Amino acid sequence: MDKADRTWAHLNAQGHPHMVDISHKSVSLRTATARARVQLPPALRSYVVGQDIHLKKGPVFQTATIAGTMAVKRTDQLIPFCHQIPVEDCTFDITIDDHLLVTIHCTVKTSAKTGVEMEALCGAATAALTIYDMCKSVSPHICIQETRLVTKSGGKNALLERPLYGLVLTGGRSKRMGRDKALLNPFGKPHAAYLYELLQPYCQQVYLSARAGQWSGTALELLPTLPDLVESVGPISGLLTALNTHPEANWLVVACDLLNLRSETIQKLLDHYQAETIATCYVNPERGFPEALCAIYTPQAAAVLERAYAEGVYCPVEILSRQPCTLVTPNHEVELMNVNTAEEYATFQSVWGSCSHGNSICPK
């Protein structure tokens, strides 16, 4: 859409700022969950007791929960033109992992005419700022990494009705390549790690799909992994494991041999998501089949894949070809180019290796 044709909701016909009129909307139950992450420095490790940090100022996470709740209730005073909403429930879940990464989830519920995503975001952000404020006397080297909306319901965005998890398929044996494709290093790190980071901004949690113990002793061993729960017979094993581990979620799935995958590719897939089909996936421009290993799978896919697995049909492309899927045309054919052999990888490096982290369709 051309900028001149856009209609800005917070500008009236005269171009003046105003509050959006929601008087015509119906009251409905609306929920939203936002997430913030705070990376703490090693200096704070000795203050961690269980799932909280205890300082002279008091218990950090408990204080952050109080501050975040106060922010939720005052969101309309902080954000211009934000409607006053009766907050009916507000909960916080704050955890810290072995790497001192603090994850904050703030969930808000209301029965109103508009959503509560801003309330959830304000709550998560304020909790993160409170953690920073309470811990900075020990060390100022604290990083608030992100604050983002995870899920919402009661609004227009169907994708956010369910949690979105990410899955990087790495469980193959890479026989044709002669070495593990997940450990290929075209952009300065193992490609599975690169894809893991590529999916992170879009997903509540990202996992590597792998055979049991596959990444022990490698550069990937610290990344969250879902070991196959069924016999490892290809990507279908990883898909079934994911869908059964979090059956309530949508899964954004990519294969580790997609070396030209970029953020624009992921975003277009998300933009075309349809909840009614078992998968939203790209269509192969040349042959017309669904690209099953760059797709969003809905919970309905579990039953379809389980039935196919029981019948000995293990190819996800074949399975999706028999089902009604939402098919998306890629902007560039090379976005979905996979690399399976050493010769193909050498060609990729010579033609595409200078592109910036795979995010430019720019052969030398």
Q: Which residues contact 263 (CB under 8 A, 6 or more apart)?
A: 198, 201, 359
How big, in percent rounded to 5, are the helix, strand and coil portions of the chain?
Answer: 35, 25, 40
Instruction: Tell me the C-alpha distance between 321 and 287, whole Å.
Output: 12
Instruction: Tell me the C-alpha distance between 112 and 95, whole Å.
Output: 30
3-state secondary structure (DSSP) of residue 297: strand
- Report how far apart the first and last C-alpha atoms of the chain are (Å, whole number): 31
133 is catalytic: yes
The 10 Å CB-count burial string (b at 16+, else e) for 123-133 is bbbbbbbbbbe
Alpha helices in the chain (DSSP H): 60-73, 75-78, 117-135, 191-199, 235-245, 263-271, 301-310, 316-321, 342-352
| 221 φ, ψ (degrees, to nearest 5) | -65, -20
Strands (E), 11-100: 28-39, 48-49, 52-55, 58-59, 89-96
The 10 Å CB-count burial string (b at 16+, else e) for 205-218 is bbbbbbbeebbeee
Q: How many CB atoms lie within 10 A of CB 25?
A: 10
Q: Which residues contact 43 (CB under 8 A, 6 or more apart)?
A: 138, 139, 141
The catalytic residue among 2, 21, 98, 133 is 133
Q: Which residues contact 192 (CB under 8 A, 6 or more apart)?
A: 168, 170, 182, 183, 208, 220, 223, 256
Residue corresponding to tokens 């052969």? 363
Q: Which residues are catalytic?
A: 133
